[in-house]
């Protein structure tokens, strides 16, 4: 008599077929199409398919990071996800600096990308997740110490970014601006090290949920059958294989980012497109995988994870992206100065204040999500006209 194998976990190839066949085919097709148009020097389609390929590969990176986060738990899980996304952001922005023939436009695009990444994290990611989660649950609760700590960090970091701008407007010249930007980058990185110790060693409880998730059993399963239903190919791998997978995917993104940056900046210069709009487009590509993860978490009533991802990504965007790009820009002799425009600094500070007001009581609802989304719409309108 044939034995019943229904309780056995699906094989590696069965999981691959069931959960990843269409997506892997899409990535492969996009990469092939990109190479064809790149070889034919079709700039428009090359930019489109390079950005599309970067988005698909970034989603894969986030999926691997999400599998790692399930094994590492909070706050390490969200940290891996945000760190992997920020690496993609750094690669794209650096390639713009490295490949562009117009240094001023490249620098302006990079500055716009840095600020836009934070705006997208705190308004689109947080806003969409809170809004969608609020439609399923009237109110969602999280650890208020998390948002309080992150908003304090972000206010200090944004104030540090304000210093070079104030210095330039006060003196009316760029004298010592490069030195000041380098010093601010060093200060931000040192502050980031303190934050990592605070988050992962001394005060882990500040970044963990204080309540048991209402749908916890549906997300991870309480018995073997439920675990089989959510079996994922990346969760079947050990930590080392997943980290190696992320490394390979990021290397591929780096190669495609060079193509995207070279042809993309050529189009920006050709059609005199607003550099702020180009920075916003890059930010959306970089943050898109995190947005999908955050929405999924909100639908499962894991609003604590949403807060960790949104605010954690914004923190890393300032304290790791900025020092990294400043250091790399000095290596290629195109110094990145941190003199942001008044509009960019104002939008950044207002975003942090809004996030503080919508999360400080430890509860969220759909109206607070809508507030963030409308703020982003206003920001996008202004950026597209500057």
* pLDDT tens sequence for the chain (386 residues): 444 554 454 444 454 445 566 677 777 888 888 888 888 888 889 989 888 888 888 888 777 777 776 666 655 666 676 777 788 888 888 988 887 777 788 888 899 999 999 999 999 999 999 999 999 888 888 888 888 888 899 999 988 888 888 887 777 666 788 899 999 999 999 999 998 888 877 777 777 765 544 433 334 343 444 343 344 566 666 667 777 888 888 888 888 888 888 888 888 888 888 878 888 888 888 888 788 888 888 988 888 888 888 888 888 888 899 999 999 999 988 889 998 888 988 899 999 999 999 988 888 899 999 999 999 999 999 998 87
Residue 5 lies in a domain: no
Task: Give the distance from CA 207 to its chain's centroid.
Answer: 18
CATH of the domain at 305: 1.20.1420.30
Q: What is the pTM of this model?
A: 0.81
Dihedral sign for Cα 270, 273, 276, 282, please: negative
Is residue 1 in a domain? no
Residue 2 lies in a domain: no
> 6 in a domain, yes or no?
no
Burial class, 138, CB count within 10 angstroms (exposed 0-12 / middle 13-18 / buried 19+) = exposed
| Overall residue count recorded for the chain in this entry | 386
C-alpha of 58 from chain center = 10
In terms of residue numbers, what domain contains 167?
A: 12-385
- What is the tally of structural domains in the chain? 1
Residue 272, phi-psi category: left (phi > 0), alpha (psi -120 to 50), beta (remainder): left
Residue 202: DSSP 8-state = I
Asked if residue 313 belongs to a domain, the reply is yes
Residue 4 lies in a domain: no
Tell whether 3 is covered by a domain.
no
């Amino acid at each position: 008599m044939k034995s019943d194998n229904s309780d056995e976990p699906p094989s590696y190839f069965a999981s691959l077929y069931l959960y990843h066949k269409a997506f892997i085919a899409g990535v492969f097709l996009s990469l092939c199409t990109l190479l064809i148009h790149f070889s034919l020097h079709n700039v428009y389609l090359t930019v489109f398919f390079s950005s599309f390929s970067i988005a698909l590969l970034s989603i894969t990176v986030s999926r691997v990071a999400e599998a790692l986060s399930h094994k590492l738990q909070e706050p390490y899980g969200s940290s891996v996800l945000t760190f992997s996304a920020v690496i993609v952001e750094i690669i794209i922005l650096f390639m713009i600096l490295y490949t562009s023939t117009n240094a001023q436009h490249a620098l302006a695009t990079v500055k716009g990308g840095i600020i836009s990444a934070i705006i997208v994290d705190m308004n689109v990611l947080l806003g969409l997740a809170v809004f969608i989660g609020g439609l399923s649950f009237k109110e969602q609760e999280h650890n208020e110490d998390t948002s309080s700590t992150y908003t304090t960090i972000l206010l200090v970091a944004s104030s540090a970014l304000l210093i070079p701008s104030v210095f330039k407007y006060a003196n009316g010249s760029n004298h010592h601006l490069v030195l000041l930007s380098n010093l601010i980058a060093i200060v931000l990185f040192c502050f980031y090290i303190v934050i990592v110790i605070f988050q992962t060693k001394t005060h882990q409880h500040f970044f963990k949920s204080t309540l048991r998730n209402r749908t916890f059993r549906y997300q991870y399963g309480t018995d073997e059958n439920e675990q089989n239903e959510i079996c994922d190919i990346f969760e079947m791998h050990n930590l080392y294989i997943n980290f190696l997978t992320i490394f390979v995917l990021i290397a591929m993104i780096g190669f495609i980012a060079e193509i995207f940056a070279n042809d993309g900046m050529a189009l920006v210069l050709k059609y005199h497109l607003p550099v702020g709009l180009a920075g916003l487009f890059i930010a959306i590509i970089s943050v898109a995988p995190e947005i999908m993860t955050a929405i999924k978490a909100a639908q499962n009533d894991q609003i604590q994870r949403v807060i960790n991802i949104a605010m954690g990504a914004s923190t890393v965007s300032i304290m790791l992206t900025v020092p990294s790009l400043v250091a790399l820009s000095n290596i290629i002799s195109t110094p990145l100065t941190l003199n942001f425009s008044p509009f960019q600094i104002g939008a950044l500070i207002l975003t942090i204040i809004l996030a503080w007001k919508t999360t400080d009581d430890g509860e969220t609802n759909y109206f607070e999500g809508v507030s963030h989304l409308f703020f982003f719409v206003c920001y996008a309108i202004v950026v597209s006209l500057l």
